[in-house]
Structure 1
Amino acid sequence: MTTAAPLQPTPAHQPEYPSTFLSNDTNTQNQGVQIPRGPVTASLSYYAPPADGSKPFNFVEPPPEGQPQRNYGESLRDVQIRDVRGRETDFTLDNNAFATISAVHSQEHDFTDDARIREVYYPEVEKLILDTVPGANRVVIFDHTIRRSSPGATRTPVTRVHIDQTAKSAAARVVQHVPEDASTLLKGRYRIINIWRPLNGPVVAHPLAVADSATVRDEDLIPVEHRYPDRTGETAAVQYNPHQQWYYWSGMTNDERLLLKCFDSDETVGKWGRVPHTAFVDPRTPKGAVGRESIEVRALVFG
């Protein structure tokens, strides 16, 4: 696959980074904290194949006795991660497989009750997608994950470069979640989009990095069995490639949304239809910074 030329910053792409960035949502823990901004070099965890050459797998829940949580390793690489703050409009889902949206208000603030999240937050996300994603005419939200950095948290930030879905698992999601219309929907355009936001922004620790999908080769992506107790899905691990271009959105607030496209069936933009992403440790993080909390909502988007 041909990769896009790296984006070169221009004077217009060199904003003055404020030390703080106040959110319209005052339910935060980091207001007034000094926020690392601008480009940074950080270590990212890439895929290293299983030593025995077997097919890579990962258990979502605790693995069966005698089996590892995952059978593949990691390769740590230092990469430059550029800041999109001040140049948000340079990136789109079709061209880069990620996009940003600002000034999004929500009626949900606590994010402690899954039933309320589905009742209040899901419809907000559905409307956001229909209003902002070109071509979208039907949205089916199929799950969400809350991540917290606190000790004992059920899910924590994932510091491993990955993609949530592959072409195989995306089609399986359509069949699983919309079985009555699957045969028709699979003939049209369908996407999986992850809507990511912090819960205690502005984000200071463990920001989320994304790779411009146009700079990621197909051969960089390794299918991994994602083993649930009742079924096996498929995600993609990512091998290091120096041509990959990485970005993050410094100091994300609770009223900002990062859209990550995990799959796109439209072959005209298919090679830009999947975005590797990972949490990372910013070496500039202030000592004692509050750990990041976030929610990601995954949706099938048709049209």
Structure 2
Amino acid sequence: MRQFTAVVNPTAGGSAGAAALLAVARLLREAGAGLDTEYSRSLGHAQDLARQAGERGKAVLAVGGDGITGRIGGALSGTGALFGIVPAGRGNDFARALGLPTDPDALARILLHHAPRPVDTIEVRSAFHDHVVVLGSVYAGVDAVANRHANHARLLRGTASYYAGGLRAVATWRPARYRVTVDGEEHPHTGYTVVAANSGYYGSGRLIAPDARLDDGLLDVVLIREAPRRLFFALMNELRSGTHVRRPEVHVLRGREIRVEADRPVPYGADGEVDAVLPVTVKVLPGALRVLC
């Protein structure tokens, strides 16, 4: 029987996380599994707790949204530890890409009985912050600005906060001139964003890279070119279904290592939490994380 350690960050939606964990925890314990709960002081502390639990042979559960999921998954990347998710955040995009249920009974069965699936992670290197490993995507441009707005929204939550943040960001964005290098080949680009996607989803359910796969050893690189703002607003709606990739203003590349530079300090983000400015280099780490899904 598996033994679990659940890591909850009370400073980042922890009350919702604790409530989501409560129902799953009861089912795990009733089945005979051991479960410890750790409340972290920060995302960095959550990573430390996860590593320590993994070293003790525990399956580590990230309880919350994409921020804590990405940080804990990144901390366990390459360690061989088992990783599980109890989705309880605003976006839950990585859990969505894995097809994880929100029903406690169905989720408990997966955590107890399913074999782990090896999935890829993303190594992120920059001169402006420490080396990190993330799970979902790295995005540089108007979407990083939108995510900042969403993270600071007080009156809106979930998809509404991301949509409002997107509208605010697009209204003030001026196209950046990028230099995108994919596996050594340079691609000049002027526009709204560059997204290096391991998961198809970002921004609370938006299907930015519909063909991205978590276990193919590649990143889908989505470039959204300069276009009238009214067209970009239409494109934002198409992100719900992934049909935006059919537009001529959207170009998709694939590769293992991507470097993104720009003509000004363009912000980039990752998994809802990394907040820095270009340049950045990202590299896929194939099959580096063992996920219960």
TM-score band by shorter chain is under 0.3
| More helix per residue | 2
Relative CO higher for 1 or 2, CA cutoff 8 Å, sep ≥ 6?
1
- TM-score (norm: length of structure 2): 0.25
| More strand per residue | 2
